[in-house]
Amino acid sequence: MPSARETLSGSIVPVVVLDDAGVAPDLVAALAAGGIDTVELTLRTPAGLDAIRSVAGSSSVIGAGTVLTVRQVEEVADAGAAFVVSPGFDDEVVQRSLELGLTVLPGIATPTELQRALKTGLRDVKLFPADRLGGLDMIRALSGPFPGVGFMPSGGVSPANARDYLGHPSVFAISGSWMVQRDLIARGDFDEIARLSAEAVALLAGAEA
Please indicate whether residue 208 is annotated as part of the active site. no
Please indicate whether residue 99 is annotated as part of the active site. no
> Beta strand 103-105 with 107-108: parallel, antiparallel or unpaired?
unpaired
- Catalytic residue, candidates 75, 113, 119, 126: 126
> Is 130 in a helix, a strand, or coil?
helix
Core vs surface per residue 40-67: b (16+ CB within 10 A) or e: bbbbebebbbebbbbbbebebbbbbbbb
Backbone phi, psi, residue 72, to 5°: -65, -35
Q: Whole-angstrom Cα distance, residue 139 to residue 146?
A: 10
**Catalytic machinery residues:** 40, 126
